[in-house]
Copies of this chain bind each other. A is one copy, B any other.
Amino acid sequence: MSYMLDEIRQQPEVIANLVEHNSGNARMLAAEMRKRDINLMILAARGTSDNAATFGKYIFEMVNGIPVALAAPSIITLYGARLRLDKALVIGISQSGKATDVVEYLDRAKNMGALTAAITNEPESDLANIADYTLLCHAGVERGIAATKTYTATLGSIYMLAAAISDRTDLLDGLRKTADLMQQALSCEDRIAVVSERYRYMEECFIIARGLNQGTAAETALKMSETSYLGAKPYSAADFMHGPIAVIHEGFPCFLIAPDGKAFDVMIETADKLKEKGAELAIIANNQEILSKATVPIPIPVQMDELFSPLVYIIAGQLLAYHLALTKGYDPDRPRGLSKVTLTR
């Protein structure tokens, strides 16, 4: 079997396994954060890990009320800025723990007085060695070049840290339950394999979400770029209305990620607007109200709390990227021009 498909299917187990580990480290980090009265979190990451960071911003702000910034590493690595970080926790996220500029960012942030942590799948990596605290993904070796299970394991680590910071054991229960729901969601694969046929000659598309699933949209678009070489562009439904909607013409393919929850009404409005313009609408959702608006409905047969939906809905995105690659005649395990570890400065 393809590494990528195999690892997509491992994800429920990876999350179930993760909840039983690592909460010790998360609790120690949370205690240190309280001791140092941390009032800012900065997440430094690239690529897939940066999409996990986007998700992290929502979770830490929503669950913990601590403002979160995503790092622009070059400000420190290229421009040598000195930031005031005495009340900041800086978290470097890299599955390999090798992303050069993320490692350098964390190192320099530590020198500037920040509390530091790493979220990584590699306990012996540079990133883990530098960080004051390490949250391990426990995802096992990832062989697919397109990261899948390390993405969801990173999301899992973020939930666990959020739970530790605000002492919310209910979130750990939620995470356990979500592992089961991820298993259910995998059943959408048959439908996605069929749907992919329709997009054999698609060369560009938009992936649109709002709120918590912003990172899901970005990660779906990235997987499609990596495995199918598509110009797949992620948008917040709000930013999308501020300009990019002008691009839409009859038949332009838009994939909407629209789980139930607080962002749902905005996604309904977005679907209506896109329909008016004659866009091709593929909609990934559980709710019939929005699925009925789709050109191509992709039902996710899972009733769930929106807070955990990013773990479930990314599975549809990953499977879509995988099957699109097959349909287009590409090997998803051998994306042209990519390697497992990317070094940038």
A positions within 8 Å CB-CB of B: 39-40, 42, 46-48, 50, 57-58, 61-62, 65-70, 72-75, 78-79, 81-88, 99, 101, 146, 203-204, 210-212, 214, 222, 225-227, 229-231, 233, 236-239, 241-249, 262-263, 266, 277, 335-338, 342, 344-345
Docked-complex contact A229 and B247, CB < 8 angstroms: yes
Q: Which chain B residue shows the least CB distance to A343?
A: B241
From B48, B65, B72, contact of A84 by CB (8 A) = B65
Q: Name the contact of A47 in the complex, choosing from B66, B231, B239, B249 (C-beta under 8 A).
A: B239
A39 neighbours in B (Cβ, 8 Å):
39-40, 84, 86-87
Cα-based distance from A66 to B237 in the complex (angstroms): 30
A246 to B248, CA, bound (A): 25
Give Cα A159 to B214, complex, Å.
30
Residues A243 and B48 in contact, CB atoms below 8 Å apart: yes
Q: Which of B86, B211, B245, B247 contacts A79 (CB 8 A)?
A: B211
Query: Can you spell out 10 A-B residue pairs with CB atoms less than 8 angstroms apart?
Result: A39-B39, A39-B86, A39-B87, A46-B238, A48-B242, A68-B69, A78-B263, A99-B242, A204-B231, A241-B344
With a cutoff of 8 Å between Cβ atoms, the chain B residues found around residue A74 in the complex are 210-211, 236, 238, 262-263
- A67 with B84: CB separation less than 8 A: yes
Q: Is the CB of A246 within 8 A of B336?
A: yes
* CB neighbours of A66 from chain B (8 A): 83-84
Residue on B nearest A214 in the bound complex, by CB: B72
Q: Are A40 and B58 in contact (CB under 8 A)?
A: no
A39 to B231: give the CA distance in the assembly, Å: 39
Known A243-B225, A338-B245; judge A101-B61 contact (CB<8 A): no
* Most chain B Cβ neighbours within 10 Å, of A68, A74, A338: A74
Bound-state CA distance A68–B40 (Å) is 10
Given contacts A65-B84, A222-B243, A238-B344, 16 further A-B contacts (CB under 8 A): A46-B238, A46-B242, A48-B242, A61-B81, A66-B84, A67-B69, A78-B263, A79-B212, A101-B238, A226-B246, A231-B233, A233-B233, A241-B344, A245-B337, A246-B335, A246-B336
